[in-house]
Amino acid sequence: MGPHPRETLGAQAAGAVGDHGVFHLGPVTLMLGGFVDTAAVLENRHIASDTFNYWQDMPYPNEPRYHTNNFDGGARYSRLSLLARGNINSEATISGFFESDFGAGAVTTDPYESNSYSFRLRQAYLAYDDNKAGWHFLGGQAWSLLTPGRAGIVARQESLPETIEASMLAGQTWSRQWQVRIVKDFFHHRLWTGLSIENPATLYDTTGFSTSNGAVSMPNGSTVTIGENGVGLTNDTTNFSNEIAPDVIGKVAYDPVWGHYEMEGILHFPHDRVTMGHTGHNNTAIGGGAGGSMILPLIPGKVELRMAGLAGWGINRYGSVLLPDATIKANGSPDPLFGVQAQAGVIAHPNPRIDVYGYVGTQRVGHSYFNSNGASYGYGNPGYSNAGCLQELSTLACTANTRAVSEITIGGWWRFFKGRFGTVEAGTQLAYARRQIWSGIGGDPHTSMSQIFFDFRYLPFQ
């Protein structure tokens, strides 16, 4: 398949830099990247997440915001990046990459006056590449090794959808996080193997339990500690899970004459502590999964088919929908939930200035639960009430544990100005998403959402 054309939206999302902003400081080359972006969304439900979809917040008719349209726009996903690279010799290079945007929302952020979204870190890593020996090393914050790629196992060559929505696509596998990665390529860069240890984080669901600052009260009187709210320079409204070991991820990639193919696997180790009275013990579960991806050039340079998927236990946070990784068993130990995420898309480039695309994706999660003393606990418990989901401002409950989110979307981009000044492009996208829940008292009604996105983008370095 070869590398990304820098102009494609998938390449921009992965962190591609341009060739207009290149400077030389002695033996080091500096390459600037990024863009000024202004995007908007019109949707038939009110979800306060602008162009970053948070599908689990998709409302049911019991909430008035289900019945209202919503328009939201902003420039917060404008981006800055810098690549510094130096040649050690004719075959080996050392490089550092930094990328940031304004996607974070500080506690003082509001839409009424200054719209002061926070500068945030997207990627920051160093890399060493020896092309003759075939060894490659990366350390820092980057796209997870689980993220599908499109050429070998190479940073900034991730296979990301061309969508306008900042959350990309339901069913997309990805994360950006700290990692230490080592890669070896064989047979003139045709076969690649990689191993990465990456920052772990277990996303727990505690429906039915009483919780406070990472402490979960169990029906037998014990307390399960799954984490702690952030302190110091971390977010004090987010619970940071207990973790005993990094995630371990392996990948094999193959680039024959036609297409790009990958297989990967992951091990994850959810960890907690159970305390009864004044004594306690630790629990560690083993989660993990496997998946793969492929890119097929149906018409080389014009039309390609992309497919990717991942399945396993305790690995759901690696999907765009952020379904839970685990719940808690009756004995207090972590209970990894089974999950599947998959996506497929067709991308066409009828000419150098136009890209069109269509994607379908889904993410699904299993359930695990128990009952004690007449009360219901866990994820997807049929004892939970969904009886109030369909009546506006109902006094009945709508627990609505998500079982699956699916999305279908089509869109296109037009690069209508391109020259020494850079590139100006415009895009639009239609998306339809459907949320399904685990059945409870009152059944398992679904909900849905329709959206139209608009975007204008100036890339001065491409």
Q: Would you state the structure tokens that stand for residue 378, as one six-digit string?
A: 């866990």
- C-alpha–C-alpha distance, residues 306 and 172, integer Å: 11
Residue-by-residue DSSP string for 440-458: BBTB---EEEEEEEEEEEE
Residue 14, classed as helix, strand or coil, is helix
Q: What confidence tens digit (pLDDT) does each residue in 15-45 have?
A: 988 888 899 999 999 999 999 999 999 999 9
Query: Is the model's pLDDT at 77 over the cut of 90?
Result: yes
* pLDDT for the residue 4: 73
> Which pLDDT band, with edges at 50, 70 and 90, does 113 fall under?
confident
Q: Which has the closest alpha carbon to 216: 313, 334, 370?
A: 334
pLDDT reading at 445 higher than 90:
yes
CB atoms within 10 A of CB 256: 9
| Residues 349-368, mean pLDDT to the nearest whole number | 96
Q: Using one digit for the tens of pLDDT, what is the confidence trace for 268-309?
A: 999 999 999 999 999 999 999 999 999 999 999 899 999 999
User: Within 13 Å and on the Cβ side, how many CA atoms surround 298?
Assistant: 10
> Across the chain, what does the average pLDDT equal?
95
Task: Give the pLDDT of residue 2.
Answer: 57
Could you tell me if 364 and 379 are in contact, meaning their C-beta atoms sit under 8 angstroms apart?
Answer: no
**3-class DSSP string for 299-354:** ECCCEEEEEEEEEEECCHHHECCCCCCEEECCCCCEEECEEEEEEEEEEEEEECCE
Q: What domains appear along the chain, each with residue ranges and CATH number?
A: 9-459 (2.40.160.10)
Residue 167 pLDDT > 60, yes or no? yes
> What's the CA gap between 358 and 161, in Å, rounded?
9
Q: What is the mean pLDDT of residues 245-250?
A: 98
Segment 57-73 shows an average pLDDT of 96
